[in-house]
Every structure is written in structure tokens, then in C-alpha cells.
A and B are shown apart, each in its own frame.
Chain A
Amino acid sequence: MSETVSVIEASKKKSIITVSHLCKQYGAVAAVDDVTFSINEGEIFGIIGPNGAGKTTMVECISGLRIPDSGSVAIYDLNPKNERENLRKFVGVQLQMSALPPRIKVSEALNLFASFYSNPLDPQELMETLGLTKKRNATFKKLSGGQKQRLSIALALIGNPKIAILDELTTGLDPDARRETWELIESIRDRGVTVILVTHYMDEAERLCDRVALINQGKLVALDTPAALAAKEGGGIHMQFAPSHPVDDKLLAVLPGVTAVHHRGTRVMVDGSGDITTQVLYELLKADITVKDVQVKSSNLEDAFVKLTQTKGKTLKTQEAQR
């Protein structure tokens, strides 16, 4: 793809959305509680968190659909609170749980939305890209879940936005449709669109997002790349194997990076971080121990997610400056 160039350009990390001390209260519940972060141009920024964590409220404040109680949002120096009109011209929004009239046709919906913008994409080409051309004359209610979702994404993109906000876009899709949708999101990013992706699927965030913000109970709990979060918070690497002779725990426990050694039956389990696999195998080789059935599992975002969302009340404020 020739658009790789734009990815490289995007990695210059120009911040275009700044959220500072954002608060939004529903009755006694703080849906968003003093959240601060910024989003760089051209990245896929994930907002993850358990159901009801305040993710949707947060992006609704960013897109100007809701007015925050306090704090501020700036998008290219525009404030969504009083410059909604301007903002809507270059922010495409795909809302959670938003359907189209059942009898509207795919091409009609796209042509309609195209007429709302001054410099829209060509509906024909967008349908082609999203694999909707064959369904152009199908009504919304006749579309499959994946097709509905693709149409919904198409409506968010038809206005040729600089920023696309996509809320829970693969919920309810089958595995094939999810993969298709992911590829689509990556291709959007490759065109230079900044994507804000709200999701509660960790595999999705891990696969797509350049950085993720983990929200729990309205608070920002962590902000980093998925890999860094997984390594830092997910508990590192778990390795296990069946040795040919009993292994002295001390032999392995002293290795740099190893945090624990346990046994289950004849199997040995080693926890740690960094390059422990090579070191453990090398050490065993030196001790003339051969191993069978080696399994290595590195922690993923889901491990980090579970750990961070279960430590209630503990807020790890990852400073932007760290990055």
C-alpha cells in the first residue's frame, strides 16, 4: 500500500485532541471522573474498560453530543461544547446501538449522508471499498449484522472526516465479520484518519490500537500501547515444561527476570518477564537436563485488563509525559 507513507507521517505524534480533567455526572454516579489524556494525529486510540465504565459517555463528550459538567475537550483548538457545528464537518461518528430506518436502501443512506457534507467521499467507491456494492439496493433490515456494521462505518466516513469515533463496532458480529471490520479500520487509519475506538474486546484493542486508555468506574486507570500495558501490568511471561531430571529451584530462581518457580507434579512453572525463556533453557542445558513439552505464554492485554479493573479504587495515573 502506498499509504504507508501517511502512517510514517502520522507517527510524528502531533496531538490533535486534548481532554483535560473531564467530569460528567449522572445523578450520584460519576460516569467520567477527572480524566485527562490526549490523542495523536493518525493513531488508532482505544478506549477500553468494563461495561458501564463510562467509555461511551467519554466519547460523547468528545464528539459534542454531551456537555461535560467540568473539564474541557479541545479538538484542533475547537471546543465541542460551543463549536459543535464546525466540529461535525470533520468528525465522523458511529454510535453504539444506532440503527437506520428499516426500509432505507444502502445507496440511499450513503447518498443522503454524502449530501450533508461539503467534500464527501464518492458513495460508489466507498461501497466498493466496504464490500457493499452488491447490497446497494438492499434495505437496511435485509442486511446481515456485519453488513449493517459496515454501512454504519461507511456513514461515519462518507463525510471524509479527519477524526472517526467508532463505538463498540464489532459487538454482535461473527468472527469473520469482526476480522473484516478490523482490516477496514486499519485501512482507514492508513488514509490518515485519526480513529477513536471504543471497545470492551481486548483482542480487538490489542490487534488494532496504537495506544489504549483503560477506563474503570469513570477513571483513567492506565494509558499505554497494548504491548506495554500487557508487559507492565499483565504479569509478564509464564513458562512451563517437563524436565528429564528433577530441577533445583534455586538454579532458575536466581536468573534475572525470573520472579517465581513452582511445581505441579513433574512439571516446572517459571514466571517472570523479559527474556526468561532463553535463559531458563540455556541454564537447563548447562545442567544436562533436557526438557519436553515447553509452553510459553506471554501475558496479554486481557491479563492487564483483569488485573487493573479488579484492583478497585486504585488509580494508576499513567502520565502522558512517560511516553
Chain B
Amino acid sequence: MSVKDATPKEASSPFWELLKVQGKLALREPMGLVFGIALPLILLLIFGNIPTFNEPIEGNSFTLFKLYIPILMVTVLIFIGLFGLPIPLLRDREIGWLRRISTTPISPTKLLAAQTVIYLILAAVGYTIVMAGSILIFGVELAFNISGFILALVLATLAMFSLGLLITAVAPSQSTGNGITMALLYPLLFFAGVYVPIQVLPSGLQTAALFTPVGAAVNALNSSMNGSFPSFVSLAVMAAYAAVFGFVAIRYFRWE
């Protein structure tokens, strides 16, 4: 046997190592990446190149394309919240990886935290692609209400990440997790206004949309990107979802 004790080198922190590994895994596992970043980028390029999207809507000063910018940002969040964040965690639990980690001196909570941080970074990259692309490539002019915009973005992110952790917590297996995710995907895309912007829906549906986390997020982002502070309702709805989803997720989380 040639195994000797390692010469003590500078101890690298377990959390930093977990971050590196979860980051590499996220880049190798294309789901979160493709849906979270490639898809909004492609949609951005398509929408940006449809001529009618760039003409001012009748009686308004803004274009349909501009209306889609917050929608695309929330689309990033939907895909990360439904796929990127929970599905690998569900798999890690199902194959016994989380349990394996729990036999070491490190708590699997740290892996959960590292996974969350990695997807926060990916979400930030997704937002940046959508905003920078709209402004730089398509010359959209946005009038940010900075504090409102940051608040809206933070709350939207919290609400959708809490949803992702909630799915991780309650789904007994990866396949049921996939089922839950697929069942939620189309309603969430609809209420975010991906198919048709909320503004063209009947008023009943518009109100209903405002009480979904994604509808509230699009509404709040839209206001803040047009110079005004988001409505109290939209912010409160997102905060409430974040609190409830987060609480239930922590309460019912299982490691095996």
C-alpha cells in the first residue's frame, strides 16, 4: 500500500468545493442551461426579428417586443425553478447521493445551498442576456425604476426558487418530480404571458394572472422597466408565495 496521509496543504473549504462541483455539473447537465439560458436567448432573437414586434402598438408608445422583455426574464426563472434547480436534486436524493453525503462530516444542507447559489448565478446570467440583448442588439429603451426593479427581481427569484425547492421537498421521486414540473410548466408559461401577453387577455384572466407568482413577476418587472414603482399587490403576491413555498419546503424536506 502506498497510501500516505496527504501533506497538509491549504485546506479548501467544503462549501467552495461543493460550489465548484455543482457548478460543473450544472454546465454538464444541459437541462437547466438549455432552458434557462439558451431558450430565452433564442426567443429573444426570434421575437427581436419579427417586424410587427418592433412596431409601436396602436395608441401606445411601446412595442410588443418591449412587452416581452419581462416575460422572457420570467421564462428564465420558470425553467430554472421547475427544471434546473429541483430535478438534479431529486435525482441526487433518489440515487442515494444525498444520503452518501450525510455519512460524511458535511451536512447535505450544504449541497442544497451550493445548488441554489449556482442556479442563482445562472438566473442572473439569463436576466443579463435578455436585458443586454434587448438593449444592445435591438436598441430597446428601458426606463428603469432601479429600486422597484431590484425589489421585483429579487422577489420573483425568491418565489420561483422556493417553488423549485418545494417540488424537491414534496416529490417522492424523480419521475413524480418530472410529472409535477410538466403539469406546472404550461400554466406558468401561460400566466407569464409567453403565449399571449397578459394585457390582451380578458380582465378576469388578467386578475387571476396577477395572483400567480409569474403573473405578478411580469407585472412588477414591466412597471419597473417603464419607470414606475411596481404595484403593492404584485410585490405582496410574490412575497407571499416565497414565504409559503419556502416554509413548506423546509418543513417537509426529506434527504432520502
Contact = CB atoms under 8 A, between A and B. Distances in A.
Interface of A: 1, 3, 63, 65, 85, 88-89, 91-93, 95, 97-101, 103-104, 108-109, 111-123, 125-126, 128-129, 139, 155, 159-160, 187, 190-191
A9 to B, nearest CB: 16
Contacts of B17: 111-112, 115
A132 to B, nearest CB: 13
A114 B21 contact: no
Given A98-B97, A112-B17, A103 B5 contact: no
Contacts of B7: 122
A119 B3 contact: no
Interface stretch (B36-44, B98-106, B197-205): B98-106
B120 to A, nearest CB: 20
Interface stretch (B23-31, B214-222, B228-236): B23-31
Interface string B90-113: 011001110110111110000000
B6 A116 contact: no
A40 B92 CA distance: 35
A155 B100 contact: yes
A3 B1 CA distance: 8
B102 A65 contact: yes
Nearest to A156: B103
Nearest to B106: A116
A101 B6 contact: no
B84 interface: no
Contacts of B106: 116
A109 B1 CA distance: 22
B14 interface: yes
Given A103-B25, A115-B12, A88 B95 contact: no
A195 to B, nearest CB: 14
Interface residues on B, range: 20 to 34
22 contacts: A95-B99, A95-B103, A97-B96, A98-B97, A100-B100, A101-B91, A103-B25, A103-B28, A104-B21, A108-B20, A111-B17, A112-B17, A115-B11, A115-B12, A121-B3, A121-B4, A121-B6, A122-B3, A122-B6, A125-B4, A139-B28, A190-B1
A1 B1 contact: yes
B18 interface: yes
Contacts of A190: 1
B25 A112 contact: no
Contacts of A191: 1, 3
B1 A108 contact: no
B99 A129 contact: no
A181 to B, nearest CB: 15
B13 interface: yes
Nearest to A160: B5
Q: Which 4 A-B pairs have the closest CB atoms?
A: A98-B96, A122-B6, A93-B103, A99-B95
Contact of A101 (B8, B11, B25): B25
A128 B29 contact: no
A118 B13 CA distance: 10
B4 A187 contact: no
A95 B1 contact: no
B177 interface: no
B101 to A, nearest CB: 8
A112 B18 CA distance: 7
Contacts of A65: 99, 102-103
A109 B11 CA distance: 16
Contacts of A93: 100, 103
Interface centre among B3, B16, B20, B88 (most CB of A within 10 A): B3
Contacts of B61: none
A172 B213 CA distance: 47
A129 B3 contact: yes
Contacts of A118: 11
B21 to A, nearest CB: 5
B5 A104 contact: no
B24 A108 contact: yes
A101 B2 contact: no
A200 to B, nearest CB: 19
Nearest to A108: B21
Nearest to B28: A103
B108 to A, nearest CB: 11
